[in-house]
């Protein structure tokens, strides 16, 4: 039996490698490959995997690990910052979608099925959406954070949905006492998890880290993730929600980076198995016989979710661009919908044909998700072009708003700096501009950030990809535009519109990856600063500096790379190996003590270089520093002298600066 299970797992992995490689050749995301692998291995196709229950368990563990890693990358403070999109945006998306689907379906299927279909459609796939956003480095973009908030709320909404289905089937009576008991159990478990994370977990992690055992760290991480997920499952919450809470707990720990590193390989493997398990649910023969119906249902689901997610995001005062991209990201059916659909089938709430149609159309929406997310920026740009006259939706104007330029302190703002995005980078830039007397104005799409800094900074809420928003930021009279956001498509739209409005504008863009450099330059950016390359370049420059490579050589090397558009097309002559010419040159410092051999003498009188092979590079006396001492410089008690020395000459010279019980005048 064990060999059979192992053989099925090996078959699953080998086939997934082949399918994903084929998908990669056709530039299809790996998620599509894993879904197709599941379809091929399923009982309705090749039937290579018979132990479907084992695969389902591994898939559920994969989703739990995914939510655990997401919780690790957040923290309690980050989650509190997301409370508005989580509570308002999430609840609006769920209620609007359920209500919309209910109105569409109850006319021909009745109230009961209308509610069921609404619950099934409203949930989106946490695993697919967050995986794709992380791969595209868009998790920190405005639409990425809104997606995360809505998905977390959907996970919470699963609890009442699980209770509603048995009620609709008549298998559970609604008793206030039992409802209160279930609610109390859930709150008690969550409170217990929070107390454990606050008082017990830090001591436990300290004890584990103190052993310096990677194996123990791995076992502790896995154990905490699965244990908390299991506890939440016992009280009716989802495994993924429990794993998310476990991740939030560990995110507050100072050892969170080590913990996250140990769990990532497991997350990737088990998440891939989840997508395969979803594909196995599809009945190929049923799908082939009902293709028009399945595709029509899939299109209806996507359309319904697009239509209802838009107002939910707009309710949060986000721009139309963010709302459109978020809607496209959440347009598929979620993995937990399959669990709810199976429950509805077992309770005879839906027929087997209805179950298979929903299953097939849901998988189609999942397969289309990567394509929808890729198409989202273009769709957003199209919507903005069709509806350019909606500044109120994308910009909070000054109360005394000016139609021409920006007025601050009674003067027209001119030659100013426009900062797009007010994260850490934007705040640092604003601080520097303020200290240097450079006039500036900020555009930010997160309404909570705008509210926080409204009375502190010249900040406005708006989507700068709108030409009208750029005009209200005074782009026509600005000197410099700095883009510090994490949305490549949005950044390109901002650059193109800003360049059209002000051809003389100097545009500087920050990007996370060097691969985006040419696309930004092609639409008009003057300078593009790739974070990954600049960080590596700075680290390398400091390493060379530590090995005493001449500063001019380092500067030439760095300039040459930047001049070649960050390409290392030519090799610089470093002047030979610095380690060969200066094997152990080092800088040492000594405090000159009272009655030491050199106290009260000049550097020339001490003969430091001639007799001891060391050179005085600098002297600090109190707060004053002499960077170029000469032979006539007097050495006084209390001075700190900096010496260029080697490992061989250092011991012989060190006694000169310490108080000596007895020493002859000639010793110095």
pLDDT digits (tens, 9 = 90+) for 232-242: 877 766 677 78
DSSP reduced 3-state for 369: helix
Look up the pTM and report it.
Answer: 0.60
* Full domain range(s) for residue 442: 396-511
Residue 536 has pLDDT above 90, yes or no: no
Distance CA 15, CA 42 (A): 12
Chain segment 15-62, per-residue pLDDT in tens? 889 988 998 887 777 778 888 888 888 777 788 877 667 767 777 776
Q: Are 250 and 346 contained in the same domain? A: yes
Whether residues 492 and 354 fall in one domain: no
Weakest mean pLDDT among 399-408, 411-420, 603-612, 659-668? 399-408
Alpha-carbon gap, residue 486 to 471, rounded angstroms: 22
Same domain (yes/no): 122, 216:
yes
What pLDDT, on a 0 to 100 scale, did the predictor assign at position 327? 93
Q: What is the CATH number of the domain that holds 599?
A: 3.30.70.1450
Grade residue 182 by pLDDT with cuts at 50, 70 and 90. Answer: low
User: Could you give the number of structural domains in the chain?
Assistant: 3
**pLDDT score recorded for residue 78:** 64
Are residues 371 and 413 both part of a single domain? no
Domain end marker among 386, 415, 434: 386
- DSSP per-residue codes, 553-586: HHHHHHHHHHHTTT---S-----S-HHHHSSS-E
Whether 378 and 455 map to the same domain: the answer is no
Return the bridge partners of 511, or none.
Answer: 530
Specify whether 324 is located in the same domain as 297. yes
Helix axis angle, 52-73 to 239-251, nearest 10°? 30
Indicate the pLDDT class of residue 568, thresholds 50, 70 and 90: very low
574 in a domain, yes or no? no
* pLDDT confidence bin for 190, thresholds 50/70/90: confident
626: left (phi over 0), alpha (psi -120 to 50) or beta: beta
Strand arrangement, sheet containing 586-591: 586-591, 640-645, 615-621, 624-626
Same domain, 176 and 289: yes
Same domain, 443 and 344: no
Per-residue pLDDT tens for 458-507? 888 777 887 878 888 888 889 999 998 878 888 888 999 899 889 889 99
Mean pLDDT score, 534-557: 74
- Residue 532 forms part of a structural domain: no
Q: 469 versus 532: which is more confidently predicted?
A: 469
Percentage with pLDDT > 90 across the chain: 12
Q: What is the dihedral of CA 209, 215, 218, 224, to 10 degrees?
A: -80
Residue 71 pLDDT greater than 80, yes or no: no
3-state secondary structure of 82: coil
Q: Are residues 126 and 42 in the same domain?
A: yes
Task: Tell me the C-alpha distance between 286 and 50, whole Å.
Answer: 19
667: which residues sit within 8 A by CB, 6+ positions away? 597, 660
Q: How far apart are CA 382 and CA 379, in angstroms?
A: 5
Q: What is the pLDDT of residue 148?
A: 87
Q: Identify the domain boundary among 331, 362, 386.
A: 386
Say if 517 falls within a structural domain.
no
Residue 535 lies in a domain: no
Question: Distance between terminal CA atoms of the chain?
Answer: 86
User: Quick one: how many helices (H) and strands (E) in the chain?
Assistant: 30, 12
Residue 487 lies inside a defined structural domain of this protein? yes
Same domain, yes or no: 359 and 426: no
Nearest-10 Cα torsion for 523, 527, 529, 533: 100
Average pLDDT, the chain: 79
Query: Looking at residue 291, which CATH number applies to its domain?
Result: 1.20.1530.20
Residue 603: inside a domain, yes or no? yes
CA–CA separation, 571 vs 574, rounded Å?
9
> Positive or negative CA dihedral for 554, 559, 562, 563?
negative
* Widest distance between CA atoms in the chain: 111
* 248 and 338 belong to one structural domain: yes
Structure tokens at 124: 């989106």
| 156 exposure class (CB count in 10 Å sphere: 0-12, 13-18, 19+) | middle
Q: Are residues 338 and 405 in the same domain?
A: no
pLDDT at 418: 93
Write out pLDDT tens, residues 425-449: 888 889 888 888 889 999 988 877 8
If you average pLDDT over residues 639-651, what whole number do you get?
82
| For residues 173-179, average pLDDT | 59
Q: Which of 456, 482, 511 is the endpoint of a domain?
A: 511
CATH number at residue 505: 3.40.50.720
- 529 lies in a domain? no
Check residue 519 and give its pLDDT: 84
Q: Is the pLDDT of residue 248 over 60?
A: yes
Is 577 inside a domain boundary?
no
């Amino acid at each position: 039996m064990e060999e059979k299970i192992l053989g099925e797992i090996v078959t699953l992995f080998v086939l997934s490698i082949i399918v994903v490689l084929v998908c990669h050749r056709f530039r299809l995301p790996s998620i599509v490959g894993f879904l197709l692998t599941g379809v091929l291995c399923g009982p309705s196709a090749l039937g290579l995997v018979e132990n479907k229950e084992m695969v389902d368990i591994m898939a559920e563990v994969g989703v739990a690990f995914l939510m655990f890693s997401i919780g690790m990358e957040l923290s309690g403070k980050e989650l509190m910052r997301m409370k508005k999109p989580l509570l308002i945006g999430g609840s609006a998306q769920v209620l609007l979608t359920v209500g919309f689907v209910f109105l569409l379906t109850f006319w021909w299927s009745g109230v009961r099925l209308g509610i069921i279909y609404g619950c099934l459609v409203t949930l989106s796939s946490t695993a697919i959406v967050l995986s794709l956003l992380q791969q595209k480095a868009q998790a920190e973009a405005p639409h990425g954070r809104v997606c995360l908030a809505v998905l977390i709320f959907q996970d919470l909404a699963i609890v009442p949905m699980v209770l509603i289905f048995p009620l609709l089937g008549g298998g559970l009576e609604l008793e206030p006492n039992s409802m209160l008991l279930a609610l109390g159990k859930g709150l008690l478990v969550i409170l217990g998890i929070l107390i454990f994370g606050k008082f017990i977990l830090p001591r436990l992690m300290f004890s584990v880290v103190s052993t310096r055992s990677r194996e123990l760290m791995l076992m502790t991480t896995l154990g905490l993730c699965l244990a908390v997920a299991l506890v939440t499952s016992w009280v009716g919450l989802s495994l993924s929600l429990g794993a998310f809470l476990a991740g939030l707990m560990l995110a507050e720990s100072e050892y969170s980076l080590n913990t996250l590193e140990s769990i990532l390989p497991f997350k990737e493997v088990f998440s891939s198995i989840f997508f395969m398990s979803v594909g196995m649910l599809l009945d190929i023969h049923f799908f082939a016989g009902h293709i028009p119906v399945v595709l029509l249902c899939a299109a209806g689901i996507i359309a319904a979710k697009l239509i209802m997610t838009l107002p939910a995001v707009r309710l949060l005062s986000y721009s139309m661009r963010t709302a459109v991209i978020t809607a496209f990201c959440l347009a598929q059916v979620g993995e937990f919908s399959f669990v709810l659909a199976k429950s509805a089938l077992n309770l005879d709430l839906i027929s087997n044909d209805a179950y298979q149609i929903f299953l097939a159309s849901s998988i189609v929406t999942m397969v289309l998700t990567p394509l929808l997310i890729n198409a989202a920026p273009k769709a957003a740009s199209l919507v903005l072009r069709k509806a350019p006259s909606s500044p109120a939706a994308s910009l909070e104007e000054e109360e005394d708003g000016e139609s021409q330029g920006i007025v601050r302190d009674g003067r027209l703002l001119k030659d100013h700096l426009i900062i797009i995005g007010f994260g850490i980078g934007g705040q640092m830039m604003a601080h520097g501009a303020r200290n240097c007397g450079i006039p500036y104005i900020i555009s930010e799409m997160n309404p909570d950030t705008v509210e926080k800094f409204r009375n502190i900074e010249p900040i406005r809420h708006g989507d700068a990809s709108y030409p009208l928003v750029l005009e209200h930021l005074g782009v026509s009279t600005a000197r410099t535009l700095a883009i510090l956001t994490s949305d490549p498509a949005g950044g390109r739209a901002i650059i193109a519109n800003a360049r059209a409005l002000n051809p003389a504008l100097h545009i500087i863009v920050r990007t996370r990856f060097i691969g985006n450099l040419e696309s930004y330059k092609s639409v008009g950016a003057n300078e593009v600063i790739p974070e990954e390359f600049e960080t590596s370049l700075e680290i390398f420059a400091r390493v060379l500096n530590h090995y005493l490579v001449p500063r001019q050589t380092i500067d030439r090397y760095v300039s040459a790379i930047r001049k070649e558009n960050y390409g290392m097309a030519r090799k610089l002559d470093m002047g030979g190996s610095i380690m060969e010419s200066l094997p152990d040159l080092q800088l040492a410092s000594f405090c000159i003590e009272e009655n030491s051999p050199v106290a009260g003498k000049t550097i020339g009188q001490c003969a430091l270089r001639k007799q001891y092979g060391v050179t005085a590079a600098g002297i600090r006396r109190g707060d004053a520093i002499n960077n170029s001492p000469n032979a006539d410089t007097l050495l006084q008690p209390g001075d700190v002298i900096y010496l260029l020395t080697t490992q061989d000459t250092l011991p012989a010279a060190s006694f000169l600066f310490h108080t000596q019980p007895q020493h002859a005048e000639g010793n110095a």
